[in-house]
Amino acid sequence: MKKLINDPQNVVPEALEGMAKAHPDLVKVHFEPNFVYRADAPRQGKVAIISGGGSGHEPMHVGFVGYGMLDAACPGAVFTSPTPDQMYEAAKMVHGGAGIMLIVKNYAGDVMNFDMAADLLRGEGLQVESVLIADDVAVESSLYSQGRRGTGTTVLAEKILGAAAEQGYDLQRLAALGRRVAENGRCMGMALTSCTVPHVGKPTFELGEQEMEIGIGIHGEPGRYREPLARADEIVERLMEPILSDLPFQSGDRVICMVNSMGGTPLIELYIVYRKVAQICEERGIQIVRNLIGPYITSLEMAGTSITLLRADDEMLSLWDHPVKTPALRWGM
């Protein structure tokens, strides 16, 4: 294992210490339990938006704390869900009397830990709603599993819901908007290489020099199939087909498109991916009205990409354009 770290056990706290030093104007960091929260929290009268998940997907979620996005983010150990005390303490720190909105990705551990935090907060008389993101079309529905994983749509939901909270949406209206975003987003990813969890020390899975995994999860979980490496255009077609046919996206739809790096894939390759995504959408009469290209929901140093499409209405687009100022996403201010 070759990593820029000091000690595998200290990866998360040391990264959080670095964040606190880098962005004191935007965020503060609380340790034990660990959470990152807005420097100007609590904002009275605004619904507090809290997310979280395993570390190793940076900038998600800690990089999205700030004006127009999250009030707090709770990072677990690498690829391990955070614990309820983190969300509980974060919520008590940032809530402004208008309720708490939790954004949760659909993994068994995340769902249970966030549910438990919600129970604890309700027990103290706070209003809590949550939105569950389960957008990964690579997981075909099964009676015998947890269901679809939460992936790229999470980033878009955090931006849109964060803007809505900033504009004064109440908790119920935010929850309804959150469900609409979750229902209209679809994502699928692929990997060229594995990643190595620092405290494990060896690659999560083996992938040959001439192989790729289509449908990879953000923790290196297996995808739909493994096959010989193909050209970028063919890979994009293999990701786009399941995404487009699932919702399904139709001619005339307007979409927000995210082409994401899994961590190890450079921007120059992401633009090659986006070029083909845009071609396919044009051919189908689907209009990409906003896009986001870069590393936003990563899997440590894994090389690969994921494509997310969100069918957006006027309200979502207006919220997308609302100013945002976080360590990892900033525009309009």
Binding region for another protein (CB under 8 A) out of 8-16, 59-67, 110-118, 162-170: 110-118
**Helix, strand, coil share (%) of the chain residues, nearest 5:** 35, 25, 40
152 counts as binding another protein under rule CB under 8 A: no
233 counts as binding another protein under rule CB under 8 A: no
145 counts as binding another protein under rule CB under 8 A: yes
Task: Considering only the C-alpha atoms of the chain, give the largest distance between any 2 of them, rounded to a whole number of Å.
Answer: 56
What is the closest distance, in whole angstroms, from the C-beta atom of residue 19 to another protein in the complex? 22
Among residue numbers 84 through 103, which ones bind another protein (CB under 8 A)?
84-85
**CB hemisphere CA count around 306 (13 angstroms):** 33
What is the closest distance, in whole angstroms, from the C-beta atom of residue 213 to another protein in the complex? 15
Catalytic residue among 23, 61, 219, 322: 219
108 counts as binding another protein under rule CB under 8 A: yes
Residue 199 bears catalytic tag: no
Binding region for another protein (CB under 8 A) out of 18-26, 104-112, 256-264, 280-288: 104-112
Please identify which residue in 146, 246, 272, 278 interacts with another protein, judged by CB under 8 A. Answer: 146
Among residue numbers 290 through 309, which ones bind another protein (CB under 8 A)?
none
What is the closest distance, in whole angstroms, from the C-beta atom of residue 115 to another protein in the complex? 7
What separation, in Å, do the N-terminal and C-terminal C-alpha atoms of the chain show?
Answer: 41
**Tokens 């056990």, residue located:** 9
What is the closest distance, in whole angstroms, from the C-beta atom of residue 86 to another protein in the complex? 8
Q: Which of 136, 167, 163 is nearest to 150 (CA)?
A: 136
Q: Applying CB under 8 A, what is the total number of residues that bind another protein? A: 19
Q: Hey, what are 102's tokens?
A: 């939790």
Whole-angstrom Cα distance, residue 102 to residue 50? 5
Nearer to another protein, 84 or 189 (CB): 84
Residue 57 bears catalytic tag: yes
112 counts as binding another protein under rule CB under 8 A: yes
Q: What x/- string results for residues 169 through 188 when contact with another protein is judged by CB under 8 A?
A: --------------------
Among residue numbers 28 through 87, which ones bind another protein (CB under 8 A)?
33, 76-77, 80-81, 83-85
Whole-angstrom Cα distance, residue 324 to residue 151? 21
Please identify which residue in 96, 109, 242, 294 interacts with another protein, judged by CB under 8 A. Answer: 109
Whole-angstrom Cα distance, residue 163 to residue 320? 7
Binding region for another protein (CB under 8 A) out of 141-149, 173-181, 184-192, 226-234: 141-149
Beta strand residue intervals within the chain, DSSP E:
27-30, 35-38, 48-55, 72-78, 100-105, 128-133, 185-191, 211-214, 225-228, 254-261, 287-294, 304-311, 324-325, 330-331
Dihedral over alpha carbons 273, 275, 277, 281 (to 10 degrees):
180
Q: Hey, what are 29's tokens?
A: 């960091």
DSSP code, position 136? B
Asked if residues 75 and 81 have their Cβ atoms less than 8 Å apart, the reply is no
What is the closest distance, in whole angstroms, from the C-beta atom of residue 85 to another protein in the complex? 4
Nearer to another protein, 69 or 121 (CB): 121
What is the closest distance, in whole angstroms, from the C-beta atom of residue 310 to another protein in the complex? 27
Helix, strand or coil, per DSSP, at residue 175: helix
Whole-angstrom Cα distance, residue 291 to residue 294? 10
Please identify which residue in 135, 158, 221, 253 interacts with another protein, judged by CB under 8 A. Answer: 221
Burial class (CB within 10 angstroms; exposed 0-12, middle 13-18, buried 19+) of 290: middle
What is the closest distance, in whole angstroms, from the C-beta atom of residue 119 to another protein in the complex? 9
Query: Which residues would be at the binding site for another protein (CB under 8 A)?
Result: 33, 76-77, 80-81, 83-85, 108-109, 112-113, 115-116, 143-146, 221
Q: Which residues does the annotation mark as catalytic?
A: 57, 219
